[in-house]
Amino acid sequence: MFLVTEEFQDAASIQCKALGFEPAIYWMPHPVQNRTPEELRQMAKEAAEGVLEMMTSNT
């Protein structure tokens, strides 16, 4: 699965269609590049929890 920021939903969808493959994607807030280390740490924490929840809700 991939972690992708929300701004790339269209691009991801089109690329998946073009390549004929659709992996699981966890969508994250955009942007990332200008986040402080503390903000990035918090985003990672939320993403970790979100990914685990995606798994368990897949039962």
Partner 1 sequence: MNQILYDPTGETNSVFRKPQSLPTNLWNKKVMLFDIGKPRSKEFLDYFEENLRQKGLVPKRAAKPTNAKTAAQEVIDFMVKEADVVIGALSD
Partner 2 sequence: MHFEDGFHLVLKRDCPTCTLIEPEIRKLVESGDFGQNLRIYIQDDPSYLSDLSQSVSDASLESSYRLKIETVPTLIRFENGEETSRSVGWVRKEWSQLLNEPMFGEHLPESRPGCGSLTVMPGVKETLDARFGDLPLNSRTIEIGEFDDPIEQAFERGWSDGLPIVPPTGERIIRMLSGTRRHPQEVVGRIPPNLTECTVEKVAINSVMAGCKPEYMPVLLAALEAALDPIFTLHGLLCTTCFSGPIIIVNGPIAEKIGMNWGINALGQGNRANSTIGRALQLIVRNVGGGIPGEIDRATLGYPGKIGFCFAEDETDSSWQPLSEAQGFQPGSNTVTLFPGDGVHGFGDQRSRTPEELTRSLAMALQGCLHPKMTECVYAILILSPEHYSIFRNSGWDRRRITEALMEATVKPGNELIRGAHGVGEGIDPSRKDEMVPKFFEDGLLVVRAGGPAGLFSGILTSWTGARHKEECKPVTKEIML
* Interface contacts to partner 1, rule CB under 8 A: 1-5, 7-8, 12, 17-24, 28, 30-33, 35, 37, 40-41, 43-45, 47-49, 51-52, 54-56, 58-59
**Contact by Cβ (8 Å): 28, 5:** yes
Nearer to partner 1, 10 or 59 (CB): 59
Residues 23-52 that bind partner 2 (CB under 8 A): 34
**Contact by Cβ (8 Å): 28, 6:** yes
What whole-number distance in Å separates Cα of residue 24 and Cα of residue 33? 23
What whole-number distance in Å separates Cα of residue 3 and Cα of residue 31? 13
Q: Which does 14 bind (CB under 5 to 8 A by kind): partner 2, partner 1, none?
A: partner 2
